[in-house]
Amino acid sequence: MKKMFMVSVAVAGLAVVGAQLQAQDQEERVRHIAPRAPVVPDSQVTSQPIPRLPDGKIDLTGPWFDGGSNGNIERDGGLKPGELPLLPWARELMAKRQPKDEPYTACLPMGVPRVNPYPWKFAMTYTSKGLSHIYQLHETGDAGAHRVIYMDGRKHPDGLIPSWWGHSIGRWEGDTLVIDTVGYNDKFWFDSRGTPHTEQLHTVERWTRINYGRMTHEFTIEDPGALSRPVTLKFTASLVRPNLKVGDDLLEFICLEDNQYGAAAQIEGIGSGK
């Protein structure tokens, strides 16, 4: 009996270890879902002049890679660890969030400023009166991630229903595109660590193409519900190298809510209702 008991304990111990390793493997799989992209190398970022559109505005089209947070908004945005002024409740919530609960692995939108990890671009729509809309596109079909920036001079409407992308209005300040957004919901994460925000979130983005191969993104966050004060982060986007298949245009990537994207990656509980 004693030998049988010892064998049973050993088997149970192996099962626990196996389960722990499987959970760790799944967690790592979630943390490393971000691919890279072939970008213009540092040696060639000034090899060509900054292109301009027919109306004389700087061409911000792209496609680009990076320019926002993914793994860690503090690190990616140039802040020191703990420097993001989160209120106590927000820090507690972030500490409780697990990688397997990342909304994007359930094919929900990434939100801002998570313009990476996939290549993306600005697409512009003109009418007889000039530029009317700018669309920020991730890979074609990516979780409905076709963000609209209104460029026709309109204001934010009253009574906005909170949404994943909020309501964005844009304007030019010289060669810098300024995007002002309100009306966000509180569902998306700022990064894969689970950094939260509230529906009081107000963001201002300043996109400036500094040379042929790089574009800076100055991102100001104001959220009195989650932050003790406004904070500004700084990111850099890199131009995807031309003359490559991925650089000719955005490829198709289909990820819709509950389409088992997480289940296909063997992430239990994602997209399966468990």
Euclidean distance between CA atoms 132 and 250, whole angstroms: 22
Query: Structure tokens of 28?
Result: 């790592």
For residue 265, the model assigns a pLDDT of 53
| The token pair that represents 140 in the structure block | 């074609």
User: Please, what is the average pLDDT of the chain?
Assistant: 81
Cα separation, 129 vs 138, in Å, equals: 27
d(CA 35, CA 209): 23
Averaged pLDDT for residues 147-162: 95
Provide the residue type at 269 as one letter.
G
Q: Which helix (H) or strand (E) holds 75?
A: helix 73-76
pLDDT score of 110:
83
Query: What is the rounded CA–CA span in Å between residue 129 and residue 119?
Result: 30
pLDDT exceeds 70 at position 245: no
Q: Pick from 131, 133, 208: which is nearest to 167 by CA?
A: 133
- How far apart (Å, rounded) are the C-alpha atoms in residues 180 and 84? 21
Whether this model's pTM surpasses 0.85: no
Residue-wise pLDDT for 173-204, tens only, equals 999 999 999 999 999 999 989 999 999 999 99
Helix, strand, or coil (residue 78): coil
Range list of β-strands (E), 130-251: 130-137, 140-142, 146-150, 167-173, 176-182, 202-209, 214-222, 231-239
User: Is the distance from CB of 213 to CB of 46 less than 8 angstroms?
Assistant: yes
Q: What is the pLDDT of residues 57-100, one digit of tens each?
A: 999 998 999 999 988 999 999 999 999 999 999 999 999 999 88
* 238: its two tokens: 């890199």
